[in-house]
Amino acid sequence: MNQTKQIIISLIIGFWLVVIALFSIQNIELISLKFFFFESIKIPLGVLLSFILAFGFIIGAIIPLFFSNNKSKKNKPKFNQSKRQNQKFNRELEEEKDPLFDWD
- 10: domain range? 2-95
With a threshold of 0.75, does the pTM exceed it? no
pLDDT for residue 55: 92
pLDDT for 59 equals 92
More confident call, 50 vs 4: 4
* Position 100 in a domain: no
pLDDT confidence bin for 70, thresholds 50/70/90: low
Tell me, yes or no, whether 40 lies in a domain.
Answer: yes
In terms of pLDDT, which residue wins out, 32 or 101?
Answer: 32
Q: What angle do CA 49, 62, 38 make, to 5 degrees?
A: 45
Is the residue at 104 inside a domain? no
40 CB-near residues (< 8 Å, 6+ apart): 32, 33, 34
- Total tally of structural domains belonging to the chain: 1
Torsion of CA 31, 11, 65, 54, to 10 degrees: -20
Q: Does residue 17 lie in a domain region?
A: yes
> Which stretches of the chain are assigned E, i.e. beta strand?
30-31, 34-35, 38-39, 43-44
